[in-house]
Amino acid sequence: MTEIRFERISKRFGDRDILDDVCVSLVSGECQLLCGANGAGKSTLLRILAGMEAPNGCDVVDAGQTRRWRRVKANLLRDVIYLHQLPYLFAGTVAYNLNYPLRGSRATRAAQVRRGLEWSGLTALADQPVHQLSGGERQRVALARAWLRGPKIMLLDEPTTNMDQGCRRRTVELLASLKETGVALVVATHDTGHFADIGDRVLRLENAVLREESSGSTPYPEKVTPITARARTA
Amino acid sequence: MGSIGDSTLQALTLLFSGDRALWEIIGISFKVSLTALAIATPIALALAFLLAFGRFPGRRLLIAVFNTLLSFPAVVVGLTFYLLLSRQGPLGDLQLLFTQPAMVIGQIALALPILVAMGHAALQSVSRRAWETARTLGASVLGAVFTLVREARFALLGAILAGFGRIIAEVGASMMLGGNILHYTRNIPTAIALETSKGEFAQGIALGIVLLLMAFLLNGLLQFLQGKGRQVA
């Protein structure tokens, strides 16, 4: 089981504290739901965990070693995948996008692309230019592309915003499949109910502080696993 | 002086009969301008990338400087480099004045601002998410740069075409730095200026037709590329 712990995360924009002494643990096969008001700092936290945005302070504990965030930034960029609220797809076809993170011979990559297409149910759209896809299809392409990269950790920023029920269900199914393969998931969302089937815990970011929602207020308390995050219990 | 019709007829005859002197001038023009473009493009793209995605003090000032240089008159660029390259100038020892390399230098200076300004706009139009997505999917820094260039390729090609259009037709810098020497530095615009001053319009019109056709072709290509860029966005 992989566990990576981020301790004492702090981030400030100007005079405003966005994150103040926040701690998060990412455990393989666990899905954490991150909620909070608009502008609370959810995306900033995810981007720090992904190695994309430098915090003002943060220690990372990995394999028993504690190191400063900037020392592990390259590892984070390698091991963590961050999906934007509106995933960016490169100009070209669905197959081109799935091929993007792959390495190896042309035949190996083609076989992997086929696997990705089957996994995400996008085989029929393989040669479709991505600018012709719907929002839900774009999200599935982004998920399949991330899946092919074989990430240990995946951070998703509002992955089901503006999706209809069918698209949302398919997206959650794909996330469940990722979770089953041992990927540690953190999903920033306004509506934890959408992810009730896969969420193991709910974290709320408020006034720069991260708290785990008390079992009374979580929509599915029976699914909450023993605490591995050092999130403050409200 | 013959009528415009006669001169045009003579011009077309010169063009289609493969007049050696005429096509030599066209060849020199393309050689000098394409060399300048080949040197200026990578430098300009690197600068455009820094301006679009870099965060450093003076960035905004630099953008303003390049935008201002867009309207820098070619003749002033010619004068500046004439003073630098003339025998008494700081670069006089290089003995480049009235040579093709001097024309190339002048045209690089003319092309750089337009390439940087348009390249910056093209790269800035690509979402920052493209960079972050490339990096999170395992691309190296260089790989992510290539991805961004690919994403903005139609707009960047448009910038290169616009840069080419600017330098192939400029007369001021080429005249001052090249000296309009037959068989060596005489290019399309300087030849048109010379032939017109001599009252020999046929060759001037023929070369003008070449420039017009090229402008039409470049604009057509620009329209096509801009359409393609919008299509994939």
B-facing residues of A in 139-158 (CB < 8 A) are: 145-146, 149
* Phi (first) and psi of residue B167, to 5 degrees: -90, -30
Cβ contact B153:B86 at 8 Å: no
CATH number of A3-88+151-233: 3.40.50.300
Token pair recorded at residue A131:
């600018």
d(CA B102, CA B179): 10
Cβ-proximal residues to A116 (8 Å cutoff; 6+ apart), any chain: A98, A122, A144, A145, A147, A148
Q: Residue A92's closest chain B neighbor by CA?
A: B232
Distance (Å) from the alpha carbon of A38 to chain B's nearest alpha carbon: 19
Mean pLDDT calculated for residue range B94-110:
96
ipTM above 0.90, yes or no: no
Q: CA-based diameter of chain A, in Å?
A: 53
The pLDDT, as a whole number, for residue A217 is 41
Averaged pLDDT of chain B: 90
**From B132, B137, B232, residue closest to A100, measured CB to CB:** B137
CB contact under 8 A, A91 and B138: no
d(CA B102, CA A180): 66
In three-state form (DSSP H/G/I as H, E/B as E, the rest C), the secondary structure along chain A is CCEEEEEEEEEEECCEEEEEEEEEEEECCCEEEEECCCCCCHHHHHHHHCCCCCCCEEEEEECCEEEEHHHHHHHHHHHEEEECCCCCCCCCEHHHHHHCCCCCCHHHHHHHHHHHHHHHCCHHHCCCEHHHCCHHHHHHHHHHHHHHHCCCEEEEECCCCCCCHHHHHHHHHHHHHHHHCCCEEEEECCCHHHHCCCCCEEEEEECCEEEECCCCCCCCHHHCCCCCCCCEEC
d(CA A180, CA A177): 5
Distance (Å) from the alpha carbon of A68 to chain B's nearest alpha carbon: 20
d(CA B51, CA B43): 12
* Phi (first) and psi of residue B159, to 5 degrees: -65, -40
Cβ contact B24:B92 at 8 Å: no
Distance (Å) from the alpha carbon of B157 to chain A's nearest alpha carbon: 16
Q: Residue A49's closest chain B neighbor by CA?
A: B136
pLDDT band at residue A234 using 50, 70 and 90 as cut-offs: very low
Cβ-proximal residues to B231 (8 Å cutoff; 6+ apart), any chain: A131
- Is residue A77's pLDDT more than 50? yes
How far are the Cα atoms of A96, A107, A163 from residue B233, in angstroms, in the given order?
A: 16, 30, 21
Mean pLDDT calculated for residue range B40-57:
92
Cβ-proximal residues to B73 (8 Å cutoff; 6+ apart), any chain: B172
> Is residue A198 less than 8 Å (CB to CB) from chain B?
no
Token pair recorded at residue B193:
């200026």
Query: Which residues of A fall within a CB distance of 8 Å from B231?
Result: 131
d(CA B203, CA A220): 85
- The answer to whether the predicted template modeling score (pTM) of the entire model surpasses 0.80 is no
- Is residue B210's pLDDT more than 60? yes
The residue with greater pLDDT, B174 or B215, is B174
* Beta-sheet strand order (sheet of A16-27): A16-27, A3-13, A57-62, A65-68
Residue type, A193: G
Cβ-proximal residues to A117 (8 Å cutoff; 6+ apart), any chain: A94, A95, A98, A123, A125, A126, A144
**From B129, B150, B231, residue closest to A88, measured CB to CB:** B129
pLDDT band at residue B130 using 50, 70 and 90 as cut-offs: very high
Instruction: List pLDDT tens digits, range A91-138.
Output: 999 999 999 999 999 999 999 999 999 988 899 999 999 999 988 899
d(CA A229, CA A227): 6
Residue type, A37: A
d(CA B138, CA B51): 24
pLDDT band at residue B218 using 50, 70 and 90 as cut-offs: confident
Closest CA to A179 of A153, A204, A203, A157: A153
Instruction: List pLDDT tens digits, range B76-99.
Output: 999 999 999 999 999 999 999 999
Please state the domain extents for chain A: 3-88+151-233
CB contact under 8 A, A131 and B135: no
CATH number of B4-232: 1.10.3720.10
Query: Which residues of A fall within a CB distance of 8 Å from B150?
Result: 90-91
> Is residue A205 less than 8 Å (CB to CB) from chain B?
no
Mean pLDDT calculated for residue range B182-207:
91
Cβ-proximal residues to A183 (8 Å cutoff; 6+ apart), any chain: A28, A29, A151, A152, A153, A154
